Amino acid sequence: MSTSRPLSPAKRWLGLVLIATAQFVVIMDTSIIGVALPDIQRALGFTPESLSWVFNAYVVAFGGLLLLGGRLSDAFGARKIFVLGWIVLIVGSIMAGAAGTVGVEIAGRAIQGAGSAMIAPAALTLLMMLFGGTSDLPKAFAVYGAAAPIGGTAGVFLGGVLTEYVSWPWVFYVTVPIALLVLAFTGTALPRTVRKASGSIDIGGAVTVTLGLAAVVYAVVNAPEIGWLTWSTLGMLAAGIVLLLIFFLIQARSRNPLLRLGLLRAPLLGAANIAQLMLGAAWVSMWFFLNLYLQQVLGASAFAAGAALLPMTGLVVLVMIALAPRLQERFGAKALIVSGLLLLAGGLAWLAFIRPDGTYVVDVLPASLLAALGMSLAFVPSLGTAINAAPPAETGVASGLVSTSYQIGSALGLAVLTAIVYGIAGHDSTTVELTQGYSAAFIGAAILALLGAIITAIAMRKPRASAFASEESVSA
């Protein structure tokens, strides 16, 4: 895939701003609804059990369609799919904001997730087109990676401000002006890509992997409410696994597969995706339960809880942009990924000592900063390693795969740990019981991060492999 002409340095950096904005919005749209959920429930008549699907519909559609988004990016051009994704996101945002019924609200959120599933892999492909092979690539990856925690924290604040001072539909409408602004500059700041002549799109593969991933995520996120051993949960899990097996059979036989199976044999790609899977499961779960501990146990308001996350967010941004690229140049990607996951595990284990009568300064701040340091060291090298391990023609698929790993890890990790929390604490709990449940969740997240470090150390066979140098191509 090629560009029509090289862009000036100024336009390249403007392009990076647009790409980082995409990452910001994709993550913001998962966190901005938290404060608004009670108002949405009252306005549309959600039951307590169904309310979680305002979040889950987005995550299921996003995670299930990311591979297809990456393949479409490779086949039709990253910029075209980037633009199409924003248009779909606008439609979903307007639908979710204007919804008058539960069904329309969930459909709008699913459409938002579908738009994000096109934006995310296309954005990473465009980043590689703008900065691949340049000395600025580590910095570009760092800016892109830092946009995620900023989006998560900004979502908490924006959700609270818009819900309190405007109305809950604006937690969805706020995406529209951002999308329009990005689209206004896309034509001049992002490279035009030429469609790859690669035959037809693997529709069968797209359908089976999307439905398979969606079924697995649906079963896991719904299990805490209906039970893990119910026929509904087990049947949905079985259906998801069967569909994923069918997907791999289709990929093995297809002339133009959605995911070329040979790509998965690249040790760097597999190890980096496992790291992203475990990072998503551990980090997002930590952020979620830490926010609940601050509000439900320590009694902080939504705004105070959001403010409490700012030091953690600031450290992530600082380390990703200023420190991690230098450390990676000196020690290599593997060392940073493994040490980052170990530090994340240490911070999570420290958080497990939270107390019902604890304080932010003693129980939360130091442990959360240690966890944030670990996350910021591991995220960018694992992301870059996964993308650079693929041949240039399959950058979109690799981007979709690594984004899928992170998002599916987030959804599954959060669902499993939520079940653990409420299995220990129950739904009508005292602060002591809630603290015990959150402590168990932090221990579980620490185990996930530790497993990620161990697997990465074993599977990443090039100890000093750089995520930003040219990796050995996977044979076609």
Which of 16-25, 58-67, 183-192, 440-449 comes out lowest in average pLDDT? 58-67
Select, from the ranges 21-30, 216-225, 436-445, the one with the highest average predicted confidence (pLDDT): 436-445
DSSP 223-262: HHHH-TTSHHHHHHHHHHHHHHHHHHHHHHH-SS-SS-GG
Structure tokens at 145: 């990676």
Give the span between the Cα atoms of 378 and 399, in whole angstroms: 17
Give the span between the Cα atoms of 4 and 195, in whole angstroms: 12
Structure tokens at 308: 């409490």
Return the closest-CA partner of residue 121 out of 342, 379, 402. 402
What is the per-residue pLDDT for 101? 93
Residues 420-459 have pLDDT tens digits of 887 787 666 788 888 999 999 999 999 999 999 999 999 8
Residue 359 or 305, more confident: 359
Residues 335-373 have pLDDT tens digits of 999 999 999 999 999 999 999 999 999 999 999 999 999
Model confidence at 472, pLDDT cuts 50, 70, 90, reads: very low
Residue 211 or 56, more confident: 211
Give the span between the Cα atoms of 375 and 415, in whole angstroms: 20
Please list the helix, strand and coil fractions of the chain in percent, rounded to the nearest 5, in that order: 80, 0, 20
Q: Give the CA distances from residue 411 to residues 13, 23, 371, in Å, rounded to whole numbers and listed in that order.
A: 32, 17, 19
- Percent of the chain past pLDDT 70, that is, above it, reads 91
Query: Residue 467 carries which side chain, given as an amino acid letter?
Result: A
For residue 77, the SS3 value is coil
What is the per-residue pLDDT for 194? 62
Query: Residue 389 carries which side chain, given as an amino acid letter?
Result: A
Mean pLDDT of the chain: 83
Residue 239 has pLDDT above 90, yes or no: yes
- Percent of the chain past pLDDT 90, that is, above it, reads 34
DSSP 102-132: HHHHHHHHHHHHHHHHHHHHHHHHHHHHHHT
Q: Give the CA distances from residue 469 to residues 333, 334, 396, 466, in Å, rounded to whole numbers and listed in that order.
A: 10, 13, 18, 5
What is the per-residue pLDDT for 2? 42
What average pLDDT score do residues 382-402 get? 77
What is the per-residue pLDDT for 254? 80
What's this model's pTM, rounded to 2 decimal places? 0.80
Residue with the two structure tokens 């990076």: 16
Give the span between the Cα atoms of 228 and 223, in whole angstroms: 5
What is the per-residue pLDDT for 375? 92
What is the per-residue pLDDT for 427? 62
